[in-house]
Amino acid sequence: MPSIKISSRHQVTLPADLRRAHGYKPGMKVAFIDDGESVRLVPVRGIKSLRGRLKGRLQTSDVEREEEDRPL
């Protein structure tokens, strides 16, 4: 695992192999997730990027509907 230094301006540079492996591009938005012991860097994706992610994984019959959602 590569180690990097934090600059005097509190900036870090992601190593090129990590950028390529995870698809990080200039201008891309990322979120930092602090779990109390470490910090994770996670890409922030728009809602449109989620389209089709559940295709074939969830069937209508797998979902229980609330009583008020059922036709009369």
* Mean pLDDT value across residues 64-72: 63
Sorting pLDDT into bands at 50, 70 and 90, what band is 63? low
- For residue 68, pLDDT over 70 is answered with no
* Domains of the chain as residue ranges with CATH: 1-46 (2.10.260)
Asked if 39 and 31 touch (Cβ cutoff 8 Å), the reply is no
pLDDT score of 60: 64
pLDDT tens for residues 3-60? 889 999 999 999 999 999 988 999 989 999 999 999 998 888 777 777 776 777 666 6
How far is residue 2's CA from residue 4's CA, in Å, rounded to a whole number? 7
Q: Which pair of tokens denotes residue 60?
A: 């209508």
pLDDT score of 1: 73
Q: Which pair of tokens denotes residue 34?
A: 């602090």
SS3 label, residue 4: coil
How far is residue 35's CA from residue 12's CA, in Å, rounded to a whole number? 19
